[in-house]
Structure 1
Amino acid sequence: MNGLGVAFLLSLGTVVSNSFARFAYALMLPAMRNDLGWNWSQAGWLNTANAFGYLAGALLARALVDRVGNRALFVAGMPATALALLATGLVDDLFALSALRALAGVAGAMVFVCGGALAGNVFPDDPRRATLAITVFFGGSGVGLVLCGAGIPLLLELAGDAGWRQAWLAMGAASLAMTVAAIAAARAIVEPAAIGARRSAHGAAPAAAVISASGPAPVCASVRAPAWRPRDLAPALLAYTGFGLGYIGYMTFVIAWMRERGASTSDVILVWSLLGIATLVAPWLWKRPFADWRGGPVIALVMTVLAAGAGLPLLASGLPAMLASAALFGAGMFSTPSAVSTLIRKQLPKPAWGGAMAVFTIVFAVGQIVGPTVTGWLADLYGSLRPGLALSVVVLLVGALVALWQRDMTRGSRG
């Protein structure tokens, strides 16, 4: 199997851990809420539980990797995520569903974090192709969004609200099949820590980190990082907290918003599929700003695009407005973490990347934990999703403004 084939099969990990285990819930939320008689807070809580799990999984991966390695955590995380998805279709108790969503978050984070590290070593001696392999790996998230958008709404159309169980079972079964292929790919890749140790022995610094497609993922390679001051990146950290809070509100409730306003199954398919396609196109749209800009403006610009996408449904809920919303939101959703990655790579020395990305992971996860529950609570309080979705837009815009205060630390020091 050639290197790109390995990267493609490895990217099935992001389909399972990201598209299935995290974002697909938005497509099933209206049906689950109707079938199980939930209020909006309960519906939002399931994504909060998943976000708690994601944070725990990322921290667990970082704590365990020195002992067991990236490959072992990836291999353990894939079947655990798949089984959690499968089991979600077999229960209807809120506590059990919450536990399974949290488990999917824990295992999915290990897949996502350590899969990114493995992807960076598909071509260990070719930086250009290594970047391509990482792009292919994280591109699996966009492909997975398209798959969910094409399949889940049709299944629910045929089976009714109770069909959410079949949807989880189908994703679980597909994930088990993808697990076999992704694990085979992982076993074909040299362990990143071993690569780093060899390069360090020859005086070259190993790569310190990789940014994930939905939040910075600390690479699970052991690197001793120098001290760096979080206050120097405080505006970016605050902005990124706002990103975590703002984007997850949209990604949890946008389909429910559409359904409440009479959107058809074909409308949902088109909107969600375009969202996935936009995430795949986004890296090429942002290539020039990421290469040429320094400091916080690039984060501010991406978050402004994201806020525009999140705000459009509040102005008009027809299909043209929702398609424009999906295109803008997709262009910004996975590009915000990339903008943060660009900032860290340009502002800090390479050995500090891992520690900085760990801090960004934590603040992102905190926002992601708070967002769904707050949005649902506001919906229950006011009898509408509008206040919560509006809050998401405001938080994203405030985050964009705060990011503008991020200074370029390289000016006058490293040039």
Structure 2
Amino acid sequence: MGLGYKSAFNWITLWASLLFALILGFSRLSYGLFLPGIQREIGGSYAELGLLGTVNFIGYLAGTLSLPLLISRFQHRKNVINRITCLLLGLAMIGSAFSDHFIQLGLWRFMIGFFSALATVLVLSIATDAVQPPERGMASGLIWLGGSAGILVTGLFAPYIIEPTHLDGWRYAWLSMGIFGILATMGFELVTRKQIFESTLFTELESNSREQEQVSVFRIMFSPNNFLFLLGSYFFFGWGYIIYFTFLVPYLVNKGIPSIYAGLIWSGIGSAGLFNGWIGGRAIDRWPSGYTLALGLAIGAIGVLGVTTNRILLTSLGAVIIGLVSFITPPLMTTALLRRYVPNSIYAVCLSVATATFAAGQIIGPMVGGWVVDQYGLKFGVTSSSLFMVLSALFACLYGRKQRVLESPTLRSKSIDN
């Protein structure tokens, strides 16, 4: 098996986690924190600014759909594709810092979404290939924690970024994040260069092509007896959580909350999220059920309602709850549930379908959220995210009811055949 497997705690996992600070915390979710500063300098309504968030996730969807084509064209160059993708992501972050108008920033946001989608799957795949199979769930949780760390760091610098006196704060922040991403890419490349494994996520897809031809991926993923309800849960989670992360800080700033407190609330989400991967990974390993996923989503929906109280303490508590149980957990658990039931030969394709569904929810969320904010105000707009998280929890429960099909070899065989 090449050079041998490592434990979940290793240098490859560490550098992958640092890259996820760029891929998730910096490139995607920092936009919501920087929104007040961007609006002051570039202008625009919340609907227009929300549209830029939608453009980012259109890029994310495009990247998700193009990854299988790239892998099939360059079957043995996964590390090279990842290296180029992460470098381009860092450069796109730097380029976005020099945007002067909507169209320019929109193009950069599209490119950032495109490259972050590729990097998400590639970094996870390369890093977990190096880990012993029984510890890959824990390794995935540790890697996802990097996204929470990215949120924590950006929140600590919020006073400088969103203060009205610092119009260029968001520019310097994105510039620094891009440079950090390039350095993290170099570190990840150094620790993975000598790591050779015969069996990876994508070579499994290639070497088992005959089995893949016998099974319809879309029939499995969109069958009510298999993963349709899990996809529905993932879709509405993407829709709901992105509304909250896009408009929470503008809501706080609009209420006149000092930027240092807004930054601390944002950091609170990231701090709680540092435990989220560990909690979610352990929970889904012990109780691999759609009901486990639904519980975290339902608690997160309650956390969103903290904004309705008009009390900073309860709003902060709700944000911490979301960071603790409803931020990293749904993607982590969805990935783990797919890994548990989907044949290795088609796992990459199934994961692409799930990720594309998630991206579709994230595309709709900022657009609808921006319209709701313009029509009914920031408070109602942020609160609306709880509705979609509840829908996500309901679909997760429906998936939990259907899991008996997947857990029974006989029923599962019939389901796939039909």
Offset of residue 411 of structure 1: 4.8
2:212 paired with 1:171: no
2:25 paired with 1:19: yes
Offset of residue 110 of structure 1: 1.5
2:387 paired with 1:388: no
Q: Percent identity?
A: 25
TM-score by length of 2: 0.85
Contact map agreement 2:158 2:262 (CA 8 A) in 1: no
Q: Equivalent residue for 2:118?
A: 110
Offset of residue 128 of structure 1: 3.8
Q: Equivalent residue for 1:93?
A: 101
Q: Equivalents in 1 of 2:368, 2:186: separation in Å?
A: 38
Distance 1:254 1:236, change over 3 A: same
Offset of residue 249 of structure 1: 0.3
Q: Describe the superposition over 1:236-283 as per-residue Cα deviations: whole angstroms up to 9, x where unpaired.
A: 221211111001000111111111112212212221112112222123
Which residues of 2 match residues 17-96 of structure 1 at below 5 A? Answer: 17-68=23-74, 69-96=77-104
Q: Which amino acid aligns with 1:189?
A: Q
Offset of residue 7 of structure 1: 2.2
Q: Which amino acid aligns with 1:195?
A: E
Q: Equivalents in 2 of 1:180, 1:349: separation in Å?
A: 33
Q: Equivalents in 2 of 1:278, 1:222: separation in Å?
A: 41
Which residues of 2 match residues 199-214 of structure 1 at below 5 A? Answer: none
After TM superposition, the structure 1 stretch with the greater mean CA deviation from structure 2, 99-108 or 173-182, is 173-182
Q: Equivalents in 2 of 1:59, 1:71: separation in Å?
A: 19
Q: Describe the superposition over 1:103-150 as per-residue Cα deviations: whole angstroms up to 9, x where unpaired.
A: 011112221110011011223xx3245444433322211221111111
Distance 1:254 1:345, change over 3 A: same
Offset of residue 306 of structure 1: 1.9
Q: Equivalents in 1 of 2:205, 2:81: separation in Å?
A: 10
Q: Equivalent residue for 1:213?
A: none
2:339 paired with 1:345: yes
Distance 1:414 1:151, change over 3 A: farther
Find the partner of 2:267 among 254, 269, 273.
273
User: Is the partner of 1:262 in helix, strand or coil?
Assistant: coil
Offset of residue 360 of structure 1: 1.2
Contact map agreement 1:27 1:152 (CA 8 A) in 2: yes
Q: Equivalents in 2 of 1:74, 1:53: separation in Å?
A: 17
Offset of residue 327 of structure 1: 1.5
Q: Equivalent residue for 2:292?
A: 298
Offset of residue 5 of structure 1: 1.6
Structure 1, unmatched stretches of 5+, are 197-205, 210-218
Contact map agreement 1:271 1:323 (CA 8 A) in 2: yes
Contact map agreement 2:280 2:332 (CA 8 A) in 1: no
Q: Which amino acid aligns with 1:297?
A: Y
Offset of residue 184 of structure 1: 2.3
Q: Which amino acid aligns with 1:71?
A: N
Q: Equivalents in 1 of 2:181, 2:333: separation in Å?
A: 30
User: Is the partner of 1:120 in helix, strand or coil?
Assistant: helix
Q: Equivalent residue for 1:321?
A: 314
Q: Equivalents in 1 of 2:272, 2:55: separation in Å?
A: 27
2:191 paired with 1:195: no
Q: Which amino acid aligns with 2:322?
A: F
Distance 1:33 1:12, change over 3 A: same
Distance 1:271 1:56, change over 3 A: same
Distance 1:309 1:71, change over 3 A: same
Runs of 4+ displaced beyond 4 Å = 129-132, 206-209, 219-223
Q: Equivalent residue for 1:199?
A: none
Q: Equivalents in 2 of 1:344, 1:172: separation in Å?
A: 32
Equivalenced residue count is: 389
2:250 paired with 1:256: yes
User: Is the partner of 1:333 in helix, strand or coil?
Assistant: coil
Q: Equivalents in 2 of 1:179, 1:207: separation in Å?
A: 21
User: Is the partner of 1:326 in helix, strand or coil?
Assistant: helix
Q: Equivalent residue for 1:201?
A: none
Q: Equivalents in 1 of 2:162, 2:247: separation in Å?
A: 17
Q: Equivalents in 1 of 2:275, 2:57: separation in Å?
A: 26
Contact map agreement 1:6 1:188 (CA 8 A) in 2: no
Contact map agreement 1:208 1:350 (CA 8 A) in 2: no
Q: Describe the superposition over 1:356-413 as per-residue Cα deviations: whole angstroms up to 9, x where unpaired.
A: 322211111110001001111121223x123322322111112212322221224554
Contact map agreement 1:309 1:329 (CA 8 A) in 2: yes
TM-score by length of 1: 0.86
Q: Which amino acid aligns with 1:398?
A: L
Structure 2, unmatched stretches of 5+, are 1-5, 412-418
Q: Which amino acid aligns with 1:179?
A: T
Q: Equivalents in 2 of 1:349, 1:295: separation in Å?
A: 18
Contact map agreement 1:61 1:114 (CA 8 A) in 2: no
User: Is the partner of 1:107 in helix, strand or coil?
Assistant: helix
Contact map agreement 2:148 2:273 (CA 8 A) in 1: yes
